[in-house]
Amino acid sequence: MKKSLKVKARAKINIILDILGKRDDGYHEIKTITQTLDLSDTITVSKNESGIITISTNSGKIPSDSSNLAYRAAECLKKKYNINGGIAIEIDKNIPVAAGLAGGSADCASTLIAVRNLYNLPITDSELAEIGKYIGADVPYCIYGGTYLAEGIGEKLTKLSPFPMINVLIAKPSIDVSTAWVYKNFNLSKVREFPDADKMIKYIEENDIQGICGNLRNVLESVTAEKYPIIDDIKKAMIKFGALGALMSGSGPTVFGLYTEKKECESAFNYLREELGILECFITSISNN
């Protein structure tokens, strides 16, 4: 029987993101199309005899205690299935932190998967997603990965046709954005362009790169990009260097650009790092696994 297991925790981007209103419980009703990337953290989960859960990481930007979502994932399964042994979780962090890329949720989802597989727990992915939604709204999606329409607070998922394979440039400026602050300051009247989910789903089905890239929309740009002009600067630079489309992901501040040509993607990468000083830049691609 295996004593440890490695799982990839993939970053995700929002191809469109719309806010439909605020719910009675204080959460916002959203409609978004999400897509996983090859950019990923590596989660290693190991069994031991300690009886406790531990977190170790190569990043000083994430907690290594019970506030980490990966810890909470292991804790949920440990209690629910009476796991007596210890669980050691090692997080090799590559996804930028507080970036709008669901890095914490991805780590949580991958920990759920790794603990289940390591202990041969009789749980389906849909049952894992049900557990995960109580830890974080993005966790159910991160368990599946690929191309999905997410509604509700992000937990109502509809699988879509696979997203076209394309080069993706990720750029996170050196600012951290609180998701709670962004949602709190969201004002519908300040949104200039709204996403059209039906149109985007059709473009994805038809593998229409131009249609997809011409209709990238995120209503939260009206909050985050308004406060941090560097977001628009990054988008403009990406377009200037050949991106067919560029958009802020989630609540920001990370921006992604979509490129058919790898050389143009590399040129934009170099410009962003050298001229705009954006150090957290990554050239990656779509992952439909």
- Digit-coded pLDDT (tens) for 150-166: 999 888 999 999 999 99
The one catalytic residue in 12, 78, 133, 235 is 12
**What pLDDT does residue 1 have?**
62
- Digit-coded pLDDT (tens) for 58-79: 999 999 999 999 999 999 999 9
Check if the beta carbon of residue 45 is closer than 8 Å to that of residue 73. Answer: no
Amino acid identity at 112 = L
The one catalytic residue in 18, 41, 107, 138 is 138
CA 128-133-139 angle, 5° bins: 75
Instruction: Specify the DSSP element, H or E, that contains 282.
Output: strand 280-285
Structure tokens at 241: 């260097």
Q: Is 138 a catalytic residue?
A: yes
DSSP, res 38: E
Percent of all residues in the chain with a pLDDT value above 70, rounded to a whole number: 99
pTM given for the model = 0.95
Unique residue bearing structure tokens 């059209």? 196
Mean pLDDT of 32-37: 98
Check if the beta carbon of residue 14 is closer than 8 Å to that of residue 249. Answer: yes
